Amino acid sequence: MQYIRLGNSGLQVSRLCLGTMNMGTPDWKPWIFNEKQSEPIVAHALANGVNFIDLADFYSAGVGEEVVGRIVKRLARREDLVITTKVGYGTRTGLNASGHSRKHIMDSIDASLKRLDMDYVDVFMLHYFDINTPVEETMGALNDIVRSGKARYIGVSTMLTGQLAKLLMACERNGWVKPINMQLQLNCAYREEEREMIPFCRDQGIGVSVFSPLARGLLTGDVQSTRNQTDFFTQQMYSDEASFEIARSVQRVARARGVSNAQIAQAWVASHPGVDCMLVGADTTAQFDSALAALDTRLDAEERHELERNYTPCDVINDYTAGKRILRTPRPGQERFTLQEAVA
């Protein structure tokens, strides 16, 4: 395992972070593992040096925190782990049951700690940017949570660069603690965060943790998984021809190397100069081992060219574009060039 200091903080974390969205109860979604199924995966990750575990109150509507909390209590010492959980979507319906108001943030940290059976989390993260709550209210509440000892640090996830800048300016104006971690989506088929967010985080000393390195399974070749057959987000994000061409490139490089598609796709993410940590949402110990091998997989210039040559810009993937994204397809040519192509 490799370790890194997260952003400008003194917190040292494993470069693989165990994602736990697939742990909790299948009553929430059919592809979720129960506690008995989840424990071997957590145990394997810990045995291989993972100290960084990512959760959210939203996962399995709170049951995910309960399940993972019980597992890690059996397997590890709390002080050896870096536990992060997220707030925003909530675990139930109703007024003030979601978002980043002071009320919901304060209610959520207490509820998460109770479910985890812990006195504190290491990083308490905003799951998204709440456009309906003043940033001073949100960041003031997070600052109070850190000062109270219920969280050691704060982090953020999945927002626009300008929105992150607003949060940081509020912290600067008021002398509040600042986020040390940005969690974002990045893979061979989705690279829009390279334009602004990753350089901005580097400039501001914020660590970058990447989720979905396999593009929700597209880059493994397993688009027929239970999750992808029941999760409409995959179709929204990765059902265009550019994404399919990139997946074919991953397969070509993997075949030439004699390794799995997943290892090549994860190696591209792990070796990205803007990435500190890669989240691994493993369904098997073998899937975790693929990510571990990717940390030491060095891609040469020709392999990188093959993986990157089909990428074209696309709509940003975040909560505000859900259901509105336009898939990448060639635009019709102008008549003059269309005629030339037909003659040629």
Catalytic amino acids? 59
Per-residue 3-state assignment (H helix, E strand, C coil) for 70-109: HHHHHHCCHHHCEEEEEECCCCCCCCCCCCCCHHHHHHHH
| Residues ≥6 apart with Cβ < 8 Å to 57 | 65, 85, 86, 87, 89, 90, 91, 108, 111, 112, 115
Q: For residue 119, what is the DSSP state?
A: S
Q: For residue 273, what is the DSSP state?
A: T
Q: For residue 18, what is the DSSP state?
A: E
Over the Cα atoms of the chain, what is R_g? 20
Rounded Cα gap, residues 317 and 314, in angstroms:
9
**Exposed e or buried b per residue across 44-83, where buried means at least 16 C-beta atoms within 10 angstroms of its C-beta:** bbbeeebbbbbbbbbbbbbbbbbbbbbbbeeebeeeebbb
CA atoms within 13 A on the CB side of 342: 7
